[in-house]
């Protein structure tokens, strides 16, 4: 959340930021509640001091004055009780409104309402051309016995899938290749809890507002994560780190679960918008310095770009417009990878910076070299998400004969397999005959 002192000083900036994000929050009501709350807290503090004074006076007073002082003490105690009771709903409203205030977007965030208004920053690689009618990933997956959606829907409902044969190896290969890439860069690898308490969802700003997207285990009051950003960023919840420890760089591998509420009819074919997937996610915790955060933001985007370049997948980076930013982001880059079946770039990665917005919610601080306690800055980025990334891999690397070439970078993780071919009787993944070009 934002610092209330910042909101008091720059209410128009906060209002403009909310407008740019197309989010509604009543800043004027928040400030009115803040004033009333602070005034009542002052009254309560004065009453507590008065109660302490009269209580102490009773114990040292002469008998003839004691009854009068006791009456004063009771009157003060009753005023205090009423004032403390009046503070409870004010505190609740203040907290509710504070959680609704969005972070102020950076000045270079484009105006706009949807992802169509985001601005391209750069692109890499050329979209492939085919001398034959290319197939989409679903047709390829079914023809090569890599994918079974029909049976998955029968037992698990829509937006589900089975991966089979080489697709399983490909999925695990791209995850492991990406994880190794990040470990070589000095990131600490983490396997994280998939079920988290509400505090972690509130702390990372997925709640309130994202409840409809989360799968909730009501009996245990836990939530399935939609990204390992949540447990990774909350890893140091309510801790005070030292400046010498920063930056912390974590890379998490996890399954992720999203309800995809509100997306009925969108991307229903195949593996693009599904309920369960895997992600390799990078999270950075750094000092409270704007330029440091900006530099870290560019760095985490480069990490993901390096993976796509190693896989030889064409992509572009876009600066996400205000209307497509979430509540907590200062700025977000999306990486969109070319998908031949769409004849378009489609989002496969998101990289966000938050400054101290998440840290304030998580009570995540550090002690600087001058001994002051400050809130850290946080950032995160998808390094890879699968099976979504299998869409461009299968479609870009398809051949006229119906086979799919395995990206060279992934072959060491697939036993040297170079090409995925139609199955013949008795031939399974890894068979020596599948290793020729």
- Digit-coded pLDDT (tens) for 86-132: 999 999 999 999 999 999 999 999 999 999 999 999 999 999 999 99
Catalytic residue (choose from 350, 352, 386, 434):
350
| Residue 228 bears catalytic tag | no
Catalytic residue (choose from 37, 176, 216, 273):
273
Distance CA(135)–CA(396), nearest Å, equals 10
Catalytic residue (choose from 388, 419, 421, 434):
388
- Residue 55: the pLDDT is 76
Q: Mind listing the pLDDT tens digit of every residue in the chain (437 residues)?
A: 999 999 999 999 999 999 999 999 999 999 999 999 999 999 999 999 988 888 777 777 767 677 777 888 889 899 999 999 999 999 999 999 999 999 999 999 999 999 999 999 999 999 999 999 999 999 999 999 999 999 999 999 999 999 999 999 999 999 999 999 999 999 999 999 999 999 999 999 999 999 999 999 999 999 999 999 999 999 999 999 999 999 999 999 999 999 988 776 677 789 999 999 999 999 999 999 999 999 999 999 999 999 999 999 999 999 999 999 999 999 999 999 999 999 999 999 999 999 999 999 999 999 999 999 999 999 999 999 999 999 999 999 999 999 999 999 999 999 999 999 998 755 556 544 444 43
Catalytic residue (choose from 51, 258, 365, 419):
258
- Structure tokens belonging to residue 339: 């998908």
| Residue 350 bears catalytic tag | yes
Q: Which helix (H) or strand (E) holds 347?
A: strand 344-355
- Residue 408: the pLDDT is 98
- Structure tokens belonging to residue 435: 């290793």
Distance CA(219)–CA(7), nearest Å, equals 38
Q: Which residues of 278-304 are buried (b: 16+ CB within 10 A; e: fewer)?
A: bbbbbbbbbbbeeeebeebbebbbebb
Sheet holding 195-196, edge to edge: 195-196, 222-224, 216-217
DSSP label at residue 218: G
- Digit-coded pLDDT (tens) for 388-433: 999 999 999 999 999 999 999 999 999 999 999 998 755 556 544 4
Catalytic residue (choose from 347, 352, 360, 421):
347
Strands (E), 71-221: 119-124, 147-148, 162-163, 188-191, 195-196, 216-217
- Which of 192, 198, 219, 345 shows the shortest CA–CA distance to 281? 192
- Structure tokens belonging to residue 62: 């002469």
| Residue 123 bears catalytic tag | no
Report all structural domains of the chain as residue ranges with CATH numbers, in order of start: 4-100 (1.10.287.40), 115-420 (3.30.930.10)
| Residue 293 bears catalytic tag | no
- Residue 269: the pLDDT is 86
Answer whether 386's CB lies under 8 Å from 307's CB.
no
CB atoms within 10 A of CB 14: 22
| Residue 388 bears catalytic tag | yes
Burial of residue 133 (number of CB atoms within 10 Å: 0-12, 13-18, 19+): exposed
- Structure tokens belonging to residue 166: 């080489």
């Amino acid at each position: 959340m934002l610092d209330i002192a910042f909101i008091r000083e720059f209410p128009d900036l906060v209002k403009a930021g909310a407008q740019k994000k197309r989010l509604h929050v009543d800043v004027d009501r928040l400030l009115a509640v803040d004033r009333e709350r602070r005034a009542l807290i002052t009254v309560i503090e004065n009453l507590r001091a008065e109660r302490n004074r009269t209580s102490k006076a009773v114990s040292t007073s002469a008998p003839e004055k004691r009854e009068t002082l006791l009456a004063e003490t009771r009157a003060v105690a009753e005023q205090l009780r009423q004032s403390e009771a009046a503070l409870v709903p004010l505190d609740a409203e203040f907290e509710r409104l504070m959680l609704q205030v969005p972070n102020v977007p950076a000045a270079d965030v484009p105006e706009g309402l949807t992802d169509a208004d985001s601005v391209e920053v750069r692109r890499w690689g050329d979209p492939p051309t085919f001398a034959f009618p290319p197939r989409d990933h679903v047709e390829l997956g079914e023809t090569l016995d890599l994918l079974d959606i029909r049976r998955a829907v029968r037992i698990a409902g829509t937006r589900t899938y089975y991966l089979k044969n080489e697709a399983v190896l490909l999925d695990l290969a791209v995850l492991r290749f990406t994880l190794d890439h990040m470990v070589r860069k000095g990131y600490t690898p983490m396997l994280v809890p998939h079920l988290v308490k509400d505090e972690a969802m509130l702390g990372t700003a997925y709640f309130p507002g994202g409840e409809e997207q989360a799968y909730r285990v009501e009996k245990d009051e836990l939530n399935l994560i939609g990204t390992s950003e949540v447990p990774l960023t909350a890893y140091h919840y309510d801790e005070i780190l030292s400046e010498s420890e920063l930056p912390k760089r974590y890379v998490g591998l996890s399954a992720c679960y999203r309800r995809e509420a509100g997306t009925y009819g969108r991307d229903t074919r195949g593996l693009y918008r599904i309920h369960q997937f895997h992600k390799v996610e990078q999270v950075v915790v750094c000092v409270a310095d704007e330029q440091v955060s900006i530099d870290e933001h560019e760095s985490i985007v480069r990490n993901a770009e390096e993976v796509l370049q190693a896989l030889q997948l064409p992509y572009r980076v876009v600066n996400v417009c205000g209307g497509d930013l979430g509540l907590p982001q200062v700025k977000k880059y999306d990486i969109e990878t070319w998908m031949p079946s769409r004849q378009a770039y489609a989002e496969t990665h998101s990289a966000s910076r938050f400054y101290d917005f998440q840290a304030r919610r998580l009570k995540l601080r550090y002690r600087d070299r001058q001994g002051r306690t400050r809130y850290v800055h946080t950032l995160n980025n998808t390094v890879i998400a699968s099976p979504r990334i299998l869409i461009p891999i299968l479609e870009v690397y398809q051949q006229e004969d119906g086979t799919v070439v395995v990206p060279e970078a992934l072959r060491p993780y697939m036993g040297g397999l170079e090409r995925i071919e139609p199955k013949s009787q008795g031939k399974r993944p890894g068979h020596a005959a599948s290793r020729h070009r």
